[in-house]
Structure 1
Amino acid sequence: MNLSSLDTVVLAAGGAVIAYLIGSLSFAVIVSRLFGLADPRSYGSGNPGATNVLRSGNKAAAILTLVFDALKGYIPVAIAVQMGLDVTVVTAIGLGAFLGHLWPVFFKFEGGKGVATAAGVLLGFAGGLGGLVLLTWLAVALITRYSSLAALIASLAAPAIQVLGWGLSVQTIGVVVMSALLIWRHEANIRKLIAGQESKIGQKASAPPVSKA
């Protein structure tokens, strides 16, 4: 699609806002409420994400959270790609969805770390890119059982995979920004990993959470 510079800016800004609102749907909280579980921000790591929901002991809730968090990153980007929009617009939309997850306007800006949503965005950018990053995450997670360590290594690998496989572009900036924010959001996990206090995948919260309703 041939666009003027002004059209690109307007589409990028408008698309990013819409994607941000979609990304602001915190499915960890929404799904937990539907399953009668406690707010995931109130136990475990306090992170509203699939890994922490899994600590409730409800695998179905955790899987649904994972799927919907990924879809809210993937769908807006995939639609933009199918429309043939400029790579700048597509990148802005991906970042909008990701930032919405981190700082959701509908949930007092108390968001998650963005791993699943970032994966969805990368899959939207290019299936191969998202697939390779996900394989990196999966390999580390299976070997170490640490979701946070897997996310950190996948975040470091993502920009390199993008550049080597798809070259330098505006999209590279988007991938670097997401990776940097992911690593920053894992600051507490990094400290726990170093101290040997990080929880492993599937490890339940110290006190099984129940709904306050």
Structure 2
Amino acid sequence: MDQNLALLLIPIAYLIGSVSFAVVVSKCMRLPDPHSYGSGNPGATNVLRTGNKLAAVLTLIGDALKGYIAVILARILLGDASLSSTMGSWVLCGVVIAVFLGHLFPIFHGFKGGKGVATACGILFGINWILGAATLSTWIIMAIFMRYSSLAALAAAVFGPIYFVFLFGFQPMGAALLVVCLLLIWRHRSNIQNLMNGTESRIGSKKKTVVASEKEST
């Protein structure tokens, strides 16, 4: 693939990542803007606060798919050399970081994006399904035993780059995943503070839906 064309994959990945499915799904299903309630985070967990489980699932799937599609598209166009120490490898690293930044700072939604957990998962599955499955398993295990979604996400973020190095050795992609890991941790800084204060919500804890809260305020 021509070098200039290959570099175009990076801004394209950012645009793909900039589609906030929390906002899109909420508009299509006539739900409140996810920025306007709960944590204000446009992600599946916050959408679930409306009480609409289908909307939350669609948001989760959409955010994961955009990460997966951006990486798979780049790998197909770049060819087999996309994970080796070549120009293609560095472009793929750029694609990974760009699609994740698109989710965090979406140009289509006033640069107000989510925390990136689902998108990061999609990215990992796009790189390698074993890598994705191992990281997802880490999230599931932590979520089951600790019952903190944010803590599970932080653990998975830390282990993602470690799993990559274990599977593929030291490659540029490992550094790209480390950048994603650090960005994800930074986006969870309020959750980290809540965990330290003992005020973070546990998975399965009962919360009032947005609809119920609106009724109580009227």
TM-score, normalised relative to structure 1:
0.90
Residue correspondence of structure 1 range 120-199 to structure 2 within 5 A: 120-199=122-201
Deviation at 1:67, TM superposition (A): 0.4
Residue correspondence of structure 1 range 77-116 to structure 2 within 5 A: 77-83=71-77, 84=79, 85=82, 86-116=88-118
2:70 corresponds in structure 1 to 76
TM-score, normalised relative to structure 2:
0.88
Q: 1:59 to 1:13 in 2, by over 3 A?
A: same
**How many positions carry a matched residue from both structures?**
205
* AA matched with 2:193: R
Deviation at 1:204, TM superposition (A): 5.9
1:17 corresponds in structure 2 to 11
CA RMSD of aligned residues (A): 1.8
- Higher deviation after alignment, 174-183 or 160-169: 160-169
* AA matched with 1:122: L
What whole-Å deviation, never above 9, does each CA across 1:58-92 have from its counterpart, x for those lacking one?
A: 11000000000001000121122123142222221
Look up the SS of the partner of 2:190 in the other structure: helix
Look up the SS of the partner of 1:162 in the other structure: helix
2:121 corresponds in structure 1 to 119
Structure 1: segments with no counterpart, 5+ residues:
none
- Say which of 38, 43, 56 aligns to 1:44: 38
Look up the SS of the partner of 1:112 in the other structure: coil
Structure 2: segments with no counterpart, 5+ residues:
83-87
Which structure carries more relative contact order (alpha carbon 8 Å, separation 6+)?
1
Q: 1:88 to 1:208 in 2, by over 3 A?
A: same
- Contact conserved, 2:51 with 2:209, CA < 8 A, in 1? no
Identity level (%): 51
Distance in 1 (alpha carbons) for counterparts of 2:206 and 2:52: 10
Q: 1:202 to 1:32 in 2, by over 3 A?
A: farther
Look up the SS of the partner of 1:25 in the other structure: coil
Distance in 1 (alpha carbons) for counterparts of 2:141 and 2:5: 37
- Contact conserved, 1:44 with 1:205, CA < 8 A, in 2? no
Deviation at 1:13, TM superposition (A): 3.4
1:64 corresponds in structure 2 to 58
